[in-house]
């Protein structure tokens, strides 16, 4: 009995190991493709914390920040994310004298920084975690 099971399992094991390797290679490949490093050179940016492949909608790994950036579901935003839990125009991030400030634009589900719902304009610090809808960003600030 054991012999037969073992005989069948040896093929299953090999298949699983190779699927595993394949899936890791695929993830690494997606990773490399997703990084557009040129745009990030000296700017501050948002980095996606979630695993990209677990989300049912399109999202980039990195979003460089500009003078004024809007994030939302609508097409007229600079950062467009089609997450149903994100409002049409969800939040904005503005730069002032080298610092970045985040403001929730009255979204339905709110914006959280380090797991705290924000009500007012907040100054972003390097390493802050910004959560909107189903996704989470890491704020990487540079002067």
Partner 1 sequence: MFNKMVSYKYPRNLLMLFELLALFLLFIYSKDNLNKFTFIYGIGLILIVYVSNFLLLRISTGDTYIFLIVTMLISIGLIMIYRIDPLLGIKQILWIGMGIFIFFLTYLVFKNIKGWEEWTYFYGIGSIILFIITLLFGSRIRGAINWISIGGLSIQPSEIIKLLTIFLIASYYTRYEHFKKQKYGSYYLIATTYLFILFLFLQRDLGTVLILYTLFIALQFIYEENRRLILYNLLFSIVSGFLGYLLFPHVRIRFETWLNPWKYIDNKGYQITQSLFAIAEGGFFGTGLGLGHPDFIPEVHTDFIFSAICEEMGIFTGMGIIMLFLILVYRGFKIGINQKIKFYRIVAIGISILFGIQSFIIFGGVLKMIPLTGITIPFVSYGGSSMLSSFIALGILQVASEELDFEEAKDG
Partner 2 sequence: MDKEIKRIITVLTAICILFVSLMAYLTYFQIFKAESVKMNSYNKRLWINEEKILRGSIIDRNGKILAYSEKVDDTYKRFYNYGNLYSHIIGYSYREYGKAGLELEYNNTLLNISESTALNELKNIVLPNTEGNTLKLTIDHHLQEYSRNLLKGHKGSIVAMNPTTGEIYAMVSLPDFNPTNLKEDWKNIVEDENSPLLNRATSGLYTPGSTFKVLTAIAAIEKKDLDREYECTGSANIDGYILKDYDGKPHGKLNLEEALVKSCNTYFGEKGVIIGKDALGEVAERFLVNKKIDFDLPVSKSSFPYKDNLGETDIAAASIGQGKLLMTPLNMALIASGIANKGDIVKPILVKEVISPEGKVLRNNQPQLLTKAVDIFTANEVKNMMVESVKRGTSRNASIKNVRVAGKTGTAENPSGKSHAWFIGFAPAEEPKIALAVVLEEEGSTGGKAAAPIARNIIIEALNTIK
3-class DSSP state of 36: coil
Q: Does 119 bind partner 2 (CB under 8 A)?
A: no
| Rounded (10°) CA dihedral 142, 128, 70, 31 | 80
Question: Which of 28/121 has CB closer to partner 1?
Answer: 28
- Which of partner 1, partner 2, none does 9 bind, CB closer than 5 to 8 A by kind? partner 1
- Nearest residue to 90 (alpha-carbon basis) of 75, 70, 76: 70
Strands 79-80 and 68-72: parallel
Q: Does 29 bind partner 1 (CB under 8 A)?
A: no
Q: Are 100 and 121 in contact (CB under 8 A)?
A: no
Return the residue matching tokens 């400030």. Answer: 101
Of 58, 123, 125, 142, the residue at the interface with partner 1 (CB under 8 A) is 142
Stretch that binds partner 2, among 4-12, 33-41, 73-81, 109-117 (CB under 8 A): 4-12
Other CB atoms within 10 A of residue 40 CB = 17
Q: Are 102 and 122 in contact (CB under 8 A)?
A: yes
Q: Which two tokens stand for residue 56?
A: 């049912």
For the bound state, the minimum distance from the C-beta of residue 106 to partner 1, rounded and expressed in Å, comes to 29
Q: Does 27 bind partner 1 (CB under 8 A)?
A: yes
Question: Which of 4/119 has CB closer to partner 2?
Answer: 4
Q: Does 6 bind partner 1 (CB under 8 A)?
A: yes
Stretch that binds partner 2, among 1-9, 22-30, 58-66, 85-93 (CB under 8 A): 1-9
Q: Does 117 bind partner 1 (CB under 8 A)?
A: no
């Amino acid at each position: 009995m054991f012999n037969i099971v073992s005989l069948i399992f040896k093929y299953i094991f090999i298949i699983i190991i190779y699927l595993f390797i394949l899936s890791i290679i695929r993830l690494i490949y997606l990773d490399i493709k997703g990084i557009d490093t040129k745009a990030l050179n000296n700017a501050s940016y948002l980095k996606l914390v979630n695993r990209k492949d677990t989300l049912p909608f399109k999202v980039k790994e990195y979003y460089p920040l500009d003078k004024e950036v809007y994030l939302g579901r609508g097409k007229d935003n600079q950062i467009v994310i089609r997450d149903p839990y994100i409002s049409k125009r969800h939040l904005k991030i503005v730069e002032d004298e080298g610092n970045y400030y985040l403001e929730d634009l009255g979204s339905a589900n709110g914006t959280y920084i380090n797991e705290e719902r924000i009500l007012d304009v907040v100054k972003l610090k390097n390493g802050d975690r910004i959560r909107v809808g189903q996704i989470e960003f890491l704020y990487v600030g540079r002067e």
